[in-house]
Amino acid sequence: MSNQEKSAGLVVLVGAGPGRADLLTLAGARWLSLADVVVYDRLVNRALLGACPADTEKVDVGKAPGQAGPDQRQINELLIRHARAGRCVVRLKGGDPLVFGRGAEEAEALAEAGVAFRIVPGVTAALACACAGIPLTDRRHASGVAFVTGHQDPAKGAGTIDWEALAGIDTVVIYMGVRNLPEIVRRLIEAGRAPQSPAAIVARAGTAAQRTVTAGLAELPAAAESAGVNPPALIVVGDVVRLRDKIAWFERLPLFGRTAIVTRPRQQAGQLTHRLAELGAAVVEAPAIEILPPDDFAPVDAALGQLGEFDLVVFTSVNGVAAFASRCRRLGIDGRALAGAKVAAIGPATADALRDCFIRADIMPDTYTTEALGRAILAAGRWAGKRILLARSDIASAALREALIEGEVGVVEDVAFYRTARPERLPEEALAALAAGTVDWITFTSPSAVANFLALLPDGGGLAGVKLAAIGPVTAEALRSADLTLTVVAREHTVEGLVRAIVEASGG
């Protein structure tokens, strides 16, 4: 985005995809990272808002069917007003902006107002039928597909749908047709579609809440009602529906239908969130820890100024590596300052973070705990008279420092390169899911996350029936100390080990 565009204001109509955060396009993610204002709809995955800068203004203009909310004119005026104030406005719309999304109406209003705009296509909901094992075309079964809105009531006049033409198309996908399903089916059959035509209704396609019901066309309304299918949902009619029995894959993932809360700091949550989502889970990020700079950089800068005098630098978290690297860059220090020192990492994730900074860990324990790290360091050489730097958080346990001193290490300097804080509150999405009893798992990767999460829970907690997963024994002990029943502890104290333990406990 050029400085000229920035000063003039710009609106970007971005397709958010059908619900899964990872189906946002790269272009959409880039524009979110530049947004001053995001105006979003009801069906947009709230996790996408995490791609925005912290100070981005977020405006919810969504409304549930039958409920009050901003009308289209008011939304148009909102976009124009923010753009004229010189802001980069992202209009985040479910699916694709131009497929039953009123994106063209908004673009037209912007053009008439003389406001610059862009349009970023998105994955429209019909394409998410792939997650239900229903291809829209197939050379053996369908060479054409039609997308139709079912929002208009077919019983009220002829409307604009040519039912006779539609009945002859191989695959028909009807958006927003759940409430009018009986009448839609009647019209298709009267127009010549065979009553026994394979048909499906797919609710929340592509999300962990996906539900798919199949039946012959004539029986579909009764089947959908019996299954309690609610909007948003797609109706698919055509022989391609027969392929679902063989190629449905999403609903067979080991964590499909489960909801997991991730309590890691937002900077670290990505890997765990993505792995759980890849296995079918609906993931709610509820950071119980905020990672902040130290209140006073003087001890950090003093340690970095003497970096060449240390014999060993120890990292016990990815956050420590990030804070170390960030401050080194700020002070103009590069990897050459570590030329005379060995480096220790508590586990593979920390070692990978160091590798990204072109630093190789010399010492890493087989078991990824602070206690094991202390033993590995003492076993790696003689440290009498040597100088060791611990680059850690402000609340790091004193156990490692004490173990090294007891092992007759010369000097151990424990420096807080970053501090942790308790957020003001848990996200509303997490609290609502707990209150509704829809949460299956909560994951914890540190004792401080346990303490903060429990402190932020409202009275009653909402933990009844929820399975609790800990990344390692120290975190597990924190849960037990809070009189909570632990479901699993990862045998390998890594994100992958934690995910594996959850899958195994879920019967996967």
> Active-site positions?
41, 63
Phi, psi of 424 (to 5 degrees): -65, -35
The token duo for 349 is 């994730």
Closest CA to 316 of 482, 446, 490: 446
Place of tokens 């033993």: 375
Per-residue DSSP letter, 306: T
Buried b (16+ CB within 10 A) or exposed e, 166-200: bbebbbbbbbbbbebbebbbbbbbeeebeeebbbb
Q: Are 10 and 31 in contact (CB under 8 A)?
A: no
Buried b (16+ CB within 10 A) or exposed e, 378-409: beeeebeebbbbbbbbeebeeebbebbeebeb
Contacts of 174 (CB under 8 A, 6+ apart): 148, 149, 150, 184, 234, 235, 236, 237
**Dist. CA 253–CA 332, nearest whole Å:** 47
HEC profile of 88-134: EEEEEECECCCCCCCHHHHHHHHHHCCCCEEEECCCCHHHHHHHHCC
Cβ burial of 448 (10 Å; 0-12, 13-18, 19+) is: buried
Phi, psi of 499 (to 5 degrees): -65, -40
Per-residue DSSP letter, 142: B
- Residue 360 β-bridge partners: none
Residue type, 144: G
Q: How many residues does the chain have?
A: 508
Q: Are 308 and 339 in contact (CB under 8 A)?
A: yes
Q: In whole angstroms, how far apart are CA 38 and each of 28, 113, 207, 228, 270?
A: 12, 19, 22, 34, 22
Contacts of 396 (CB under 8 A, 6+ apart): 316, 390, 414, 416
Q: What count of Cα atoms within 13 Å lies in the side-chain half-sphere of residue 84?
A: 10
